[in-house]
């Protein structure tokens, strides 16, 4: 794969798995998130679903910040499997599931995104469709 700052449609292959990095579930951040966005959620249950989504969104945005991705068209099929506790290290990965060229200048990439806990168990998954510029 090319330098992550120059990832275009042609640089991604169906079946390719790309690490999105990792982030720890921070207790103070979780407490503040619950206070502001999930009142009534018991922190003993772990991070609420909306925070899990925010953690994935952060990892995905940081990884693709310099890519030639012009627009995310959809985030579908969200699955929340478990709520990680404070202190848990959460890892993200993206798997390219399909590609569809759209003319000479762009193409659509379909990807499966997963968040995994330290033991490799699934926490969250979703499908995205994004428009990428072609070289």
3-state class (DSSP) for residue 49 = helix
Strands lying side by side in the sheet with 122-133: 17-24, 89-102, 106-116, 122-133, 69-80
| pTM exceeds 0.85 | yes
Q: What is the pLDDT of residues 109-126, one digit of tens each?
A: 999 999 999 999 999 999
Q: What is the pLDDT of residues 48-96, one digit of tens each?
A: 999 999 999 999 999 999 899 989 999 999 999 999 999 999 999 999 9
């Amino acid at each position: 794969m090319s330098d992550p700052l120059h990832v275009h449609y042609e640089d991604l292959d169906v079946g390719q798995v790309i690490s999105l990095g990792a982030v720890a579930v921070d207790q103070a951040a979780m407490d503040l998130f619950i206070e502001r966005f999930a009142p009534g959620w018991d922190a003993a249950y772990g991070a609420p679903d909306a925070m899990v989504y925010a953690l994935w969104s952060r990892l995905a945005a940081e990884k693709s910040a310099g890519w030639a991705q012009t627009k995310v068209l959809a985030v579908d099929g969200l699955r929340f499997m478990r709520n990680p506790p404070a202190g848990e290290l959460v890892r993200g990965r993206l798997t390219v599931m399909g590609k569809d060229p759209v003319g000479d200048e762009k193409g659509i990439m379909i990807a499966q995104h997963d968040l995994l806990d330290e033991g490799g168990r699934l926490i969250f998954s979703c499908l995205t469709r994004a428009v990428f510029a072609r070289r």
